[in-house]
Amino acid sequence: MDPVKERVIQHLKLAQIIAAKYFNIQGASRDEVISEAHTALVKASMAYQEEKGPFAPFAGAAIRNALNSLFNKQLRNAKMVAKSLDETIHGGTQFGTYIGNLGQNLADTKRDVFREVGEKERIKELQRALKTLGNKEKEIMDCISKGMSLSEVAKQRNVSKQAIFKIVKKTYQTLKKEIKNAKN
């Protein structure tokens, strides 16, 4: 049997395994991805030179390169597709008026209301828990929230870094406990 065909037959499974990782290419079907992988395998088999090393790594790289090229091609095509029937490829309309980047100044209409409500509830719980802290703990946590290190806070308050660490640890435990109690 021809060595090119033999290598292709022996490594078809490799092509399919690599292709499976590229099934998410937008605008390309699974069959197109597999076909591209098989084509790359055949080309790799034809270009292979035995003295340069084993075939499998060479073929794997060739297949991945081909699939990456397919991905980039599909990405370019997706960017070229007009967003509306009235819009041309370059952002104008069929009447020649430039309308710019559609939706550029519009608010995100895909808001996740449940997530927003959950975030607001967590903020309220945290604010309630923060009210239970003493002034010293609030001041230290304020410094840390501003990006100061434990050493900087310790210097500012004329105490050891370990003392600040213990206060911060205790404060986090208190906040955690207060939030947990608020949920129950």
pLDDT tens-digit profile, the chain (184 residues): 788 889 889 999 989 999 988 888 877 888 898 999 999 999 998 998 888 889 899 999 999 999 888 888 887 776 665 454 555 544 444 444 444 444 445 555 556 777 788 888 888 888 888 888 899 998 998 888 888 888 999 999 999 999 999 998 998 888 888 888 877 6
Structure confidence at residue 80 (pLDDT):
60
**Which residues, in sequence order, are CB contacts of 32 under 8 Å at separation 6+?**
70
Structure confidence at residue 100 (pLDDT):
46
**Residue 29 and residue 23: Cα distance in Å, rounded?**
7
| Residue 79 CB burial class (10 angstroms; 0-12, 13-18, ≥19) | exposed
**Residue 62 and residue 69: Cα distance in Å, rounded?**
11
Structure confidence at residue 165 (pLDDT):
92
* CATH class held by domain 113-183: mainly alpha
Nearest to 17 by CA among 35, 40, 34: 34
Question: Domain-by-domain residue ranges, the chain?
Answer: 3-80, 113-183
Structure confidence at residue 96 (pLDDT):
44
